[in-house]
Structure formats: C-alpha cells, structure tokens
Structure 1
Amino acid sequence: MDVTMKDVAKLAGVSLSTVSRVLNDSSLVREETARKVEKAVEKLDYQINDSARILRTNTSNLIGVIGAGMERPFLANLLKGIEAEARERGFALIYGDSDGEFEKEQNYLNIMKQKKIDGIILITTNYYNDLLSIVKNYNIPVVFASGYISDPEISCVTVDNVAAAYDMVEFLCQSGHKNMAFIKGPDLDMLASQERLRGVKLALRLSDIEYDSKRFIEGDFTFESGYSAAKKIINKFPDVTAIFAFNDEMAVGTIRFLKEQGIKVPEDISVVGFDGIDLGNYTDPALTTIKQSGYHLGLKSIEMLNQIINEGKIEDNKVFIPHKLVVRESTNKLNELTTKQEVITKNRG
C-alpha cells in the first residue's frame, strides 16, 4: 500500500498543512518541526505524487507568471520579489515571457490552465479587452502587476503612475523649467506609459504650460530608444531645458547621447527618469528619478493573489505601492539672471 501524506503527518505528529509546507520548502515552519517531517518522509520513503495531489485537492501549489521584457532591471527585481514571496508561501512558479504580444499571452494562459495552476501574475505592457475577457472566463485568480486596471473585477498592484509623473513635472516646473520634452513608452502600452502621460498632462495644465504632443517622443523603455529619442528632441527642439524619460533606462540612453554631443547635464539640459533602478546611482551625473520598488511590487502581488486563492475575493483589490522623488545631480534650477537659451547657444556654438 502506498504511503500517503496523512501517514507522514501521523508519524511526525503534525498537521497535513504543515507537511505540505515542509514539502514545498516554506520557511513558515519552525526548523525543529521541519526536521520531524523530513525524518518521517525518509523513514516511510514517501514519494510525492503531484498528479494525484492535484486531483485530490484541486490545487497545484503552482503560480503562473506571464511577463514582458523581464530582462529589464526593474522588472527583474519585480520577478525576484514574486519568487521570494511565492516560496515563502509554499508556491512554485511557471514563467513565460510574452514580449507583450497578445497571442503569446493567450497561449501561456492556455498552457497554465492545463497545468491546473492556482493563480496568475500578469506583467504586460499591452492592455487588451480580449485579454481581460479570457482571464475572467478562465475563472483563475489573477493579479495584474503592470498598471492600474479600472475594471472592478480585476485585481492589480501598481505604483500610482499618474501621481508619480505629476510629482516629477511639478518638480521640474518649480525648478524653473518651462521648455520640456518627454520620452514616453510605446503607444501600445496602455497601462504604465499612458498613466504617466496623464500625470504629465495634468501637471502641465496646472502649471499653465501648453501641452504640445510633438514634444512627446515614443521609445520602448530600452537604452537604445532613449538615445535615439534624445537625438530627435535636440534636432527638433533646441530650446529644451529638461527631458523626462518615462523609465530610467531611456534616461540613461538620453544622457549618453547628450554627452556625446558635448551637451552638459545638467548645466545645459536636466534629465530625469522613472523607476529608481540601481544603475541610476552610478551614471555620470547620478540620475534624478521617481523611485518605486519592483521587489516590493512583486511581494504585494503574491500577497494579494494568495488572499484571492484562499478567500475567493478581497474587498480592496486595487493596491498602490509607495513612490518617492529622488533628486540627484542630473537636474538643476535655471539661473534666473540668464535665459537657458543663451546658455545652450553658448555651449553648443
């Protein structure tokens, strides 16, 4: 007769849930208790039968993660947070990178449904109504960790992109900058980039600065796109005094281009970013940015998903993680005695 988890629990003198946590390498179990379970498993030669467990309990202890561009530093930290908290709660992860393509996301959702996963974390740059419909129809607990989803049935954990972008533009305005340019995310990014754009527009309006869509250059959140966008900005808008890139990598690419052109940062042009990745501390000059914790975002995503899995639903399914404006050396205040255009003309002449 096959040895069961119940046999292990009886021999170790613990509950079935404790045995499950130990077998899933959870740190929530005391070391002494874990040793008792491990000795019982060894003595009984207990073999875990995942298929049988899934059929018996209708749970797999698996969490699916569908991401896009996870090689980027901020999103890599987010994934680390997801993995750490999932491990603490006895979950293993199945991961797929969709590159932000709907067809790939749909395919991964189908695969994960077949694996009987307990829940899904979605980190997508593209917002599709079709994707939401699929998620709802699958009836699998899902948390979006990409941006704010207004649909009341969808849970999400995100930074308040609107408020954060507003804070950055307000800071630039208070520093005397009126002639700004912006490097936004892809136009298909209906979440983070569009939210940050809303925050920028609001701050401009309240600062009595006219919105000019031509001053918003599209990037794709990479160093290279920041570099090429900065080139377009300098060619089109010689009066620019500050550039706000919608993530730190594009800001770093911007600084690289400006330095190659002999344009001083921040003496000629201030540059700011968004995310607060570690690299921003080591750029020359160090980058002014909106700091949010990708790791904390990952932790909160699993925390919320675990609650949905266990309780079916939660009252507050929209969670904002904190953000902070970090002022470093890549920005300065304009000299009130000299127009910025005079300074730029002199340095570029």
Structure 2
Amino acid sequence: MKPTIKDVAKIASVSISTVSRVMNAPDTVVENKKKRVLDAIEELKYKPNALARGLIYKKTHTLGVVIPDIRNPYYADIIRGMEDASKKSGYSLIICNTDTDGNRLFSYLNTFYEKQIDGLLYTSNPIFPDYYKELKRLRMPVVLVATHSMEYELPSVKINDEQAAYDATQFLIDSGHRNIGMISFDLGDSIAGQTRYQGFVRALRENNLELKRDNIFFVSEYFHDPYDAAESLFRQSSGLTAVFAVSDVLAMGVLSYLNEKGVAVPNEVSVVGFDNIRLSAFTVPKLTTVAQPMYQIGYRAVEKLHALINGEADPVLREIVPHEIVVRASTGRL
C-alpha cells in the first residue's frame, strides 16, 4: 500500500500541515522539524499525489493542447517545442486531436476543465465566436499557436503568412517565371488560406503580372488529396512554369504528379512548398520551401502561456516569428 501524507506526519511526529509546508514552502519550517519530515519521506519513499496537490494549490502543472489533425507532419516540431518548454517549466502535456470538429473541441475543453489544466495551447484553427465564448465561460488561460485572432485579445505566436507567401511568389518571379500556378487553401480559412492567397496576389500585382483564375486551385486544408490537387491545377491551366503550393504536403503532390507525367523539375516546372517539414529535404528533387520555425513557435507558445498563468505581463500580444525561403533543387531559373 502506497504511503500517504498521514504516514509521513506520524513517523515525523508533526502535523499534516507541517509536512505540506515542508514540501511546498520549506523556508517556513524550523530546521529540526524539516529534517524529521525529510527523513520520513525518504524512509517511506513517499511521493505526493499530483491530483491532490492540484486541488489544494489550484495548479496541476498540466497544459492542454488541441490540434486539428495530428497526422499532419507540420505539427511534429511544434509539439516537440511545446514538450521541451513544458518540461523546462514543470508542465505535462495532454494532446487532443479535434479533426476541426467544433463539437469534439467543446468536448475536449470540458475534459480539460474537469482535469483542471492550468492553460490551453490552441493550435492552427481560427477562433470562432462560440469557441471564444466557451473559453471565457471556462475561464481557461489560452495561447494561440500558429494562428491568431484580430477580434479577441488573445496572445498568439505565428509567422506572417501573407508576407511569407509574397516572398515565395517573389522568389519565383525573380527567377524569371511569369506564368505561376498556386494550390491554395480555401479562402474561408482566414489563417492560412486567405492570407497566403493575398500574398500571392500582391506579388503578381506589384510585378504587373496578370492574375489568372485558372492558375489557382483551392483545396480543403485537411482532406484534399495532394496528387489530385496537382492534377486538377494542371488540367485547368496550361503553360505553367512554376507552382507555389501552400503546404509541403501539397507541393509533394505536385512533384509526384509531374514525375508521373514525365515533366522535369525544375527544368520544365519549378515547385515551391510551405512549412519546411522534415520530409521536404528528402523529396526528389529536394523541395524549395518557406521555412516556418515550428519548434520555436511551439516553445514560445508555452513560455507565453506560462507567463499568463503566473500573471506576468506579455509585452507582445500577437507575436510574429521570422520565416525564410530555403532554396533546394525543385526550383531553377526559367
């Protein structure tokens, strides 16, 4: 039978409250009592119950994470950054997959509330009004990860998606390309759909290039087959010399399609992706892409949430981290 705090108090000949103070505020206990308690803890190999301590001190040192699709390799480094930062600050993570389903999200939020998590890391999806209302009702500290909200005063960490898409398109234009295709997330996606589309369009307009509607194919972010997206784009548009895909997974679909059709990359068509997931360095040819600092995004999100939980002021509410273009073999001059 596992030893309890009562057993420690009995062996040390002190009260239960004294044992509690030794574990949580040792400087408030006189040395002789503290030594007796520590000796008793060592003798019994006593480990305090984390849940019980959470009920007493109103902290469980646990953070909840909601992710739209855990199969997406984009989230691997974000979660690793979260995990490392959490370990440093003494937190554990509970990770839940929502499949972008609102009812499933609400179910997880209530589970987190019952488990008394200290805060929530909300990843990638937009914050809709009913989501925000539920977070307020549960009084749950939250940081947005790889997403943001202009409607609500919620701290966030992400890149500038519009500027990143602009830079990717400008890179292709600077390489001599004029007939550029795009595989875009649906414009209803205000985080990565609308913003990246706007960056693409801005680059074309600033370089006096025509925006051809047939050169753009829109996909549902999580459920559209990458190969089918590439096939659809090339079926509706002709003469493309370059394609900007708004995720590396979509760009890999383009590489696969072009390889099957015998189209040489980059000699005939250049391809640029977005995210710089690990697999992008192992495609054939290796993929040029917009690199997001995913690990840093996850790490900073936990740091911001830790500060929020402890009532510390955050000087930057909506934090933007830098991106870069990683040039590999899938692109070349026209």
Both structures adopt the same fold (TM-score exceeding 0.5) = yes
TM-score (norm 2): 0.86
1:234 — aligned with what? 234
2:273 — aligned with what? 273
Distance in 2 between the 1:135 and 1:312 partners?
20
| Superposition pairs of residues 35-114 of structure 1, within 5 angstroms | 41-114=41-114
Name the SS of the counterpart of 2:193 in structure 1: helix
Distance in 2 between the 1:230 and 1:118 partners?
43
Distance in 1 between the 2:74 and 2:38 partners?
37
Distance in 2 between the 1:69 and 1:123 partners?
10
In structure 2, the CA distance between the partners of 1:88 and 1:329, relative to structure 1 (3 Å rule), is: same
Distance in 1 between the 2:320 and 2:208 partners?
29
Please identify, of 237-246 and 190-199, the stretch whose mean Cα deviation from structure 2 is larger. Answer: 190-199
Q: List per-residue Cα deviations over 1:148-173 (Å, max 9, x = no partner).
A: 32135111111111111111111111
Distance in 1 between the 2:39 and 2:209 partners?
70
Distance in 1 between the 2:201 and 2:81 partners?
32
Q: Compute the displacement of 1:192 (Å).
A: 2.0
Name the SS of the counterpart of 1:147 in structure 2: coil
Q: CA RMSD in A?
A: 2.6
1:338 — aligned with what? none
Q: Structure 2: any 5+ residue segments left out of the alignment? A: 1-5, 9-15, 29-36
Give the length in aligned residue pairs.
Answer: 314
Q: List per-residue Cα deviations over 1:79-103 (Å, max 9, x = no partner).
A: 1111111111111111210011111
User: Contact conserved, 2:186 with 2:194, CA < 8 A, in 1?
Assistant: no
In structure 2, the CA distance between the partners of 1:203 and 1:325, relative to structure 1 (3 Å rule), is: same
1:264 — aligned with what? 264
Q: Compute the displacement of 1:226 (Å).
A: 2.2
Distance in 1 between the 2:188 and 2:197 partners?
13
Name the SS of the counterpart of 1:192 in structure 2: coil
Code of the aligned partner of 1:248: D
Q: Compute the displacement of 1:203 (Å).
A: 1.5
Residue 173 of structure 1 pairs with residue 200 of structure 2: no
Distance in 2 between the 1:158 and 1:61 partners?
24
Q: Compute the displacement of 1:12 (Å).
A: 11
Distance in 2 between the 1:39 and 1:208 partners?
78
| Superposition pairs of residues 1-349 of structure 1, within 5 angstroms | 1-3=6-8, 7=19, 10=22, 41-221=41-221, 225-311=225-311, 313-334=313-334
Q: Compute the displacement of 1:123 (Å).
A: 1.0
Distance in 2 between the 1:40 and 1:284 partners?
63
Distance in 1 between the 2:149 and 2:24 partners?
46
In structure 2, the CA distance between the partners of 1:15 and 1:78, relative to structure 1 (3 Å rule), is: farther
Q: Structure 1: any 5+ residue segments left out of the alignment? A: 17-36, 335-349
In structure 2, the CA distance between the partners of 1:79 and 1:13, relative to structure 1 (3 Å rule), is: closer
Q: Compute the displacement of 1:183 (Å).
A: 0.9
In structure 2, the CA distance between the partners of 1:224 and 1:329, relative to structure 1 (3 Å rule), is: farther
